[in-house]
Amino acid sequence: MIQVPETRISPPQQRHELQSAAAQQIDSASPKASEIRNFLLHRGNSALADRWFHVLMLLCALSIFGIVLLIAGELTIGSSLSWGQFGFNFFFKTYFDPNTHLPMYWDPVNGHFSALPFVYGTLVSSFLSLLIAVPLAIGVAVFLTEMCPGVLRGPLAFLTELLAAIPSIIYGLWAVFVLVPLLRVYVNPLLTGSLGWTGLFSGDNPTGLGFVSAAVILAIMILPIISSLTREVMIAVPHSQREAVLALGATRWEMIRMGVLRNARIGIVGAVILGLGRALGETMAVTMVIGNTPEIHRSLLANGASMASVIANEYAEATSNLHRIARTVIGLALFVVTILVNAVARLLVWAVTRGAPARSR
Amino acid sequence: MKLETNTTRARFRAITDNAVTLLAVLATVLVIAPLVAIFAYLIYRGYSSLSLDFFTRIPKPVGEKGGGMANAIVGSGILLALASVIGVPIGIGGGIFLAEFGRGTKLANSIRFTADVLNGVPSIVMGVAAYALIVSPHVRYLPILGHFSAFSGGVALGIMMIPTVCRTTEEMLLMVPHAVREAALGLGVPNWRSVLSITVRTASPGIITGCMLAFARVAGETAPLIFTALGNSFWSTSLNEPIAALPLQIYVYAISPYDEWHKLAWAGALVLIVLIVLAVSLVRYVTSRGVLKGAS
């Protein structure tokens, strides 16, 4: 008789001991059971392998924490050397040229650095792009989830996904050679003519580069992210909600407004914030069309610069140590801001879609 | 409360409904329009600039006709291979942990969250971090550190791949039915063997497509390469030297004032987009066909 111990519940830590105990019992019970003994001992070895495997996979997973800490650490060390010199004021202060008394922000020659115009540029271009992208993205999501005939749904969703897969550099290339000339010739004069009195669209910028161009290309780039997440959130709204509203005699739009959008609003806000995060850090396309002048103008048609664009644009010119450090500080600021924005957005989206049966991919 | 019998009100509601439908259709058209415009223009400009030289020659100095991007194509290949070597195993390992070991635990949830957040960190920040970590002249622990190199570019891209690969691997593994795992364990297969040979293999089409998605994403990345791989207008396949990359070369050519270079930029962009669209379509095809459905 072989008596194998009760192993119905055996956590991996205990399995090894149980198995060797079982092997010993077999040994004493019958010498002929060497085959079973070998088998059980082999299992004992694999329990050790299991533990190693577990640890290895854990390390891989923990590397994600490691990466975040590494980036944060590297950027902090890289910028801490200068913290005494710049301080938090780095993001707010303005210098004045002693001769012309014009504001100066970014003057590598004289070692004056202030991130104010870049913060301004990033905020203005991102919010402008959200202004353009959000209504369109929600429109697309509503169309795809609630109105679209089934035949079109797949291809259209694929096309919007494709929009997300196009690299930033190709958007930039297209913007420089197609979008900017278009805006310069047709849209900018229109804006100046109709809204020039606000001061926001005044001045003639012969290049066509500037905040408006940057915002339009950014809007095109963040649209797919916002719309696909909005779609995901809207799909997660239970059908009973829609049916209940329809049963009360609502039209389709009223059903969408009361049954779907109202239930999904937190997730939609999350999607928009996620789009904002993408817009804040978008580099190549913005660098190519924003104009790259570290100045602050009231007009949105004027040239500007963003935090990401100044980092990308001055890679070759960063000769002095201070210049390089100033760039690292901007990088750190961008990192912290995008981490916060993304964290908030993810939490909002998760709050809605968690536990939802539908997965929209 | 009076029941609503007002016909103007009913008409107003009907009109609003139609107007919203129209607006939604319009929004969709407006969103698809740039896509069509980009592709049409890209094909138009890119195709007319493509030639055999593009794939076989290295760039010529300004003013000379011809030249190609052979070095950039090879350079991109080297960078991406290095990035995959770093990003794919670690990413898959992380995904396996999330799906097989840490399901439902706080640790796994926080790792998943961090991966999602890391996905949203701008690539330019990755570039600055990789610069500080590897390229910066202060770093002199190894001979390969302390200067611009293909190695640093590959590392930057590889790090960017990890969160994407990790999350898609996890999602694919979660789709594998429990019965498959239980069957393997019931036959006495050790857990690591069951994970690698049964679960991961069952989900492998999905995992491979996830890796391709991450691959396609970093293939077009320019920002992290600016401070790391730097670009090179000559032949170089050494990991220790600055190396050319397709997106980087497109950037340099696009902002240059020369028509001849603009043409090359368009041709490069076409090559890049064809590669990416192929990868994405493949992903779409595999996931929509539901390779995993056979297992459930």
Residue A219 contacts B, CB cutoff 8 Å: no
| Residue B98 touches chain A, beta carbons under 8 Å | yes
Residues 50-89 on B with a CB inside 8 Å of A are 89
Distance CA B230, CA B148 (A): 6
d(CA B107, CA A185) in angstroms, rounded, equals 55
Domain boundaries, chain A: 12-80, 83-353
Could B16 and A311 be called an inter-chain contact, meaning their C-beta atoms sit closer than 8 Å? no
- Interchain contact, B31 vs A160, CB within 8 Å: yes
**Which residues does chain B have within 8 Å of residue A227's beta carbon, measured at their own beta carbons?**
31
Instruction: Assess contact for A215 and A133: CB atoms under 8 A.
Output: no
| Domain assignment present for B1 | no
For A:36-75, CB contacts with B below 8 A are 39, 43, 46-47, 49-50, 52-54, 56-65, 67-68, 70-71, 74-75
Q: What's the confidence (pLDDT) of residue A355?
A: 47
Q: What's phi and psi for B126, nearest 5 deg?
A: -60, -40
> Mapping DSSP to helix (H, G, I), strand (E, B) and coil, where does residue A95 land?
strand
User: Other C-beta atoms within 10 Å of B31: how many?
Assistant: 24
Which pLDDT tens digit goes with each residue over A191-203?
888 877 777 787 6
- CA–CA–CA angle A156, A158, A164 (5° rounding): 110
Instruction: Closest CB to B14: pick one of A47, A159, A251.
Output: A251
Rounded to two decimals, the ipTM of the complex is 0.88
Alpha-carbon gap, residue B276 to B16, rounded angstroms: 41
Q: Residue A96, SS3?
A: strand
Q: Contact B230/B152 with Cβ under 8 angstroms?
A: no
pLDDT (tens digit per residue) in B163-212: 999 999 998 899 888 898 889 888 888 888 889 988 998 888 888 888 88
Is some CB atom of chain A closer than 8 A to the CB atom of B32?
yes
> Does residue B119 belong to any structural domain of this protein?
yes
Query: Does A346 contact B136 at a Cβ distance shorter than 8 Å?
Result: no
What is the sign of the dihedral through the CA atoms of A104, A286, B47 and B226? Answer: positive
Specify the higher pLDDT residue, A85 or A265: A265
User: Hey, what amino acid is at A347?
Assistant: L
Does residue B33 lie in a domain region?
Answer: no
- Domain holding B267, by residue range, is 84-295
Q: Report the domain count for chain B.
A: 1
pLDDT of residue B296: 36
Per-residue pLDDT tens digits for A32-56: 566 766 665 665 566 788 889 999 9
Q: Does B114 touch chain A (CB under 8 A)?
A: yes
3-state secondary structure A302-336: CCECCHHHHHHHCCCCCCCHHHHHHHHHHHHHHHH
pLDDT at B62: 75
Tell me, yes or no, whether B40 lies in a domain: no
pLDDT at A28: 55
| Residue A24's pLDDT band (cuts 50, 70, 90) | low
Indicate whether B9 belongs to any domain.
Answer: no
User: A78 in contact with B at a CB cutoff of 8 Å?
Assistant: yes
Give contacts of A60 with chain B, Cβ < 8 Å: 89-94, 96-97, 166
What is the band of A315 on the pLDDT scale with cuts at 50, 70, 90?
Answer: low
Supply the pLDDT for residue A190. 84
pLDDT reading at A293 higher than 90: no
Q: Which regions in chain B score pLDDT beneath 70?
A: 1-5, 287-296
Phi, psi of A106, deg, nearest 5: -130, 100
CA A148 to chain centre: 28
**B48 and chain A: CB distance < 8 Å anywhere?**
no
The confidence band for A321, taking pLDDT boundaries of 50, 70 and 90, is confident
Q: Which A residues 101-130 touch B at CB under 8 Å? A: none
Candidate from A161-175, A295-309, B278-292 with smallest mean pLDDT = B278-292
- The CATH class of the A83-353 domain is mainly alpha
CATH number for the domain that contains residue B191? 1.10.3720.10
Assess if residue B216 is contained within a domain.
yes
